Amino acid sequence: MTLLAVVWLAAGLGYDVPAEWTSKPSSSSMRAAVWELAGEGEPAEVVIFYFGEGGGGGVEANLDRWFGQFEQPDGSSTRDKATITERSVNGLELTIADVRGTFIAPVRPGASQRNNNAGHRMIGAVVEGGTGPWYIRVLGSEANITKWEASVEAFLSSLRLE
C-alpha cells in the first residue's frame, strides 16, 4: 500500500490517503472529502463529514444513527452485533464502530425511498479533538470493505491535527 500525504482538511485535520483510493468530488458541503474504493460490484465509499466545531451531534447520537441504518437478518439488535472500539491517535480520540448487516438508510437525506443492501459493512469513526468532531464513514459490501480494511486502518492511524 502506497500512501499519499495530504497536509490538512476541514479545520486542521490531517491524514495520509492510500494512493489506491480514488478521490471523488463532494456532493455536499457536509462532505469534506470523498474517496471511492474499487472492488467487485459497486465501489465502497469513504467520506469525511465536518459540520463545524462542536457540530454533528456527538458520539452516541452518531452511533445510534449508524446502527439505525442497518438491520440484522435474524432481527437482532445491530448495536449488540456491532464492534465498538475507542483509542487515541496522535492526540485525537476515536470511537470506531464496525457494523455489518443489511444497509437500510434512506437513499438520500429526507427521502422516503430506502436502500435495501444485504451483506453490507460500515466502519464509522467519530474523531474528537482540536476543532472537531469529524465523522468518517467507510461503507460498501462486506467483501469490499474487508478487502480495504488494512488501508482503512492505516488511514485512521494517520489522523492528526495540522
Q: What is the pLDDT of residues 113-126, one digit of tens each?
A: 999 999 999 999 99
User: Per CATH, the architecture of 3-161 is what?
Assistant: 3-Layer(aba) Sandwich (3.40)
C-alpha to C-alpha distance for 49 and 2, rounded to whole angstroms? 24
pLDDT of residue 20: 92
pLDDT of residue 57: 87
Please check the confidence at residue 7 and state whether its pLDDT lies above 50.
no
Averaged pLDDT score across all residues of the chain: 91
Please check the confidence at residue 98 and state whether its pLDDT lies above 90.
yes
**27 or 141: which leads in pLDDT:** 141
**58 or 154: which leads in pLDDT:** 154
Please check the confidence at residue 8 and state whether its pLDDT lies above 60.
no
C-alpha to C-alpha distance for 153 and 159, rounded to whole angstroms? 10
User: Can you give the C-alpha Rg of the chain in angstroms?
Assistant: 15
pLDDT of residue 41: 77
Candidate from 5-9, 63-67, 154-158 with smallest mean pLDDT: 5-9
Please state the rounded mean pLDDT for residues 102-118: 92
pLDDT of residue 81: 96
C-alpha to C-alpha distance for 122 and 139, rounded to whole angstroms? 4
Please check the confidence at residue 162 and state whether its pLDDT lies above 90.
no
Give CA angle at 77 (71, 80), nearest 5°.
Answer: 125
Residue ranges of domains in the chain: 3-161
